[in-house]
Amino acid sequence: MNRTMKLNRKKSRNVIPGFGLSMGVTVTMLSLIVLIPLFSVLLTLTNTTFQEFWSVVTDSQTVATYKVSLTCAAIAAVVNVFFGILLAWVLTRYEFPLRRMLDGLIELPFALPTAVAGIALTTLYSDQGWIGALFSKIGVKISYTKIGIVIAMIFIGIPFVVRSIQPVLEKLDPQYEEAAMALGASRSRIFFKVVFPEILPAALTGFGLAFARSIGEYGSVVFIAGNIPYKTQITPLIIMSKLEQFNYTAATSIALVMVVFAFILLFGINILQAWINKMARG
């Protein structure tokens, strides 16, 4: 009997037949798409000394692009988490006309070419645009400022947060909220004590994905940024500038810094998620 149960458990785990073949295909695809391209970045720098590498990545103009990209991406990711939770809540908890259309529009930044998004945002938020003209009357300039960069990063990052939180809210049993309400808890207390702990790991995932996407975004940001050195120049732009000058070593050096930072960010968020899940179970 016990042997039969063990065999049934073993069969239930092997939904896809052939572990060796499945693992081989997985490792091959991961190597071709992720590992080999990343390794090629390191291979390009094999003939570069550490002094040359350090002088490139610590150049004053390059450091200024780090600050612009990272600060704007962080602000945009925080805004995306706030509005992403709100959008996911509306899409999962309310029924209203055109809800499915709104749900589909969330993924528009995924399908829209980034250059098209950049041109559209620049036209809309320029001093002569529909929205930019209204703000220019009160002395607020959006295009060619960090405000415009943040808006563009919010645009391309919001789907990551919504799609990370939405499945968790859909699976969350409303009986917990009803029980808390029956015990006299206020709506805000129910959200922060019952709902928020459940969606926090997903919100961190969305934050990390939106942040990582924003710091590497080029097409939708470059037009609205204005590319003013030491003010609105982003790191992907300076990498493209180095490539146009055929300075592949400098471009690869700066790209490596961004890859390392993105890896550290995602690794840290995964550790934080594991700690939160452990505390929740404990």
pLDDT at 190: 86
pTM of the model: 0.83
Answer left, alpha or beta for residue 14, where phi above 0 means left and psi between -120 and 50 means alpha: beta
Q: Tell me, yes or no, whether 85 lies in a domain.
A: yes
pLDDT at 147: 92
Q: Tell me, yes or no, whether 183 lies in a domain.
A: yes
Digit-coded pLDDT (tens) for 234-265: 999 899 888 888 888 888 889 888 888 888 88
Q: Tell me, yes or no, whether 160 lies in a domain.
A: yes
**DSSP letter string, 70-82:** HHHHHHHHHHHHH
CA separation for the pair 37, 170 (Å, rounded): 37
CA separation for the pair 199, 277 (Å, rounded): 11
- Token pair for 235: 């790191």
CA distances from 28 to 32, 37, 170 (A): 6, 13, 34
Digit-coded pLDDT (tens) for 122-167: 888 988 888 888 888 888 889 889 999 999 999 999 999 999 999 9
CA distances from 157 to 123, 154, 176, 209 (A): 20, 5, 31, 8
Q: Tell me, yes or no, whether 108 lies in a domain.
A: yes
- Other CB atoms within 10 Å distance of the CB of residue 247: 13
**234 phi, psi to nearest 5 deg:** -95, 160
What SS3 class is residue 180?
A: helix
- Token pair for 252: 């690869």
Digit-coded pLDDT (tens) for 185-225: 888 888 888 888 889 889 988 998 899 889 888 888 988 88
Q: Tell me, yes or no, whether 110 lies in a domain.
A: yes
Best CA proximity match to 174, nearest among 252, 256, 89: 89
CATH number for 165: 1.10.3720.10
Domain that holds residue 80: 71-232
Assess whether pLDDT exceeds 70 at residue 8: no
- pLDDT (mean) for 165-188: 85
Best CA proximity match to 264, nearest among 227, 222, 228, 215: 215
Q: Tell me, yes or no, whether 96 lies in a domain.
A: yes
Number of domains in the chain: 1
Q: Tell me, yes or no, whether 58 lies in a domain.
A: no
pLDDT at 162: 94
pLDDT at 3: 54
At residue 18 the predicted structure's pLDDT band, cuts being 50, 70 and 90, is low
Digit-coded pLDDT (tens) for 25-82: 777 887 777 777 777 777 777 778 888 889 999 999 999 999 999 999 999 999 999 9
At residue 14 the predicted structure's pLDDT band, cuts being 50, 70 and 90, is low
Question: ∠ at Cα 16 (13, 21), nearest 5°?
Answer: 115
Q: Tell me, yes or no, whether 30 lies in a domain.
A: no
Best CA proximity match to 87, nearest among 221, 199, 216: 199
Buried b / exposed e along 48-67 (16+ C-beta atoms within 10 A): eeeeebeebbeeeebebbbe
At residue 108 the predicted structure's pLDDT band, cuts being 50, 70 and 90, is confident
Q: Is the dihedral of CA 119, 123, 124, 125 positive or negative?
A: positive
Residue given tokens 């529009």 in the structure block: 105
Name every residue whose Cβ is closer than 8 Å to that of residue 98 and which is 6 or more positions away in sequence. none
Digit-coded pLDDT (tens) for 32-44: 777 777 777 777 7
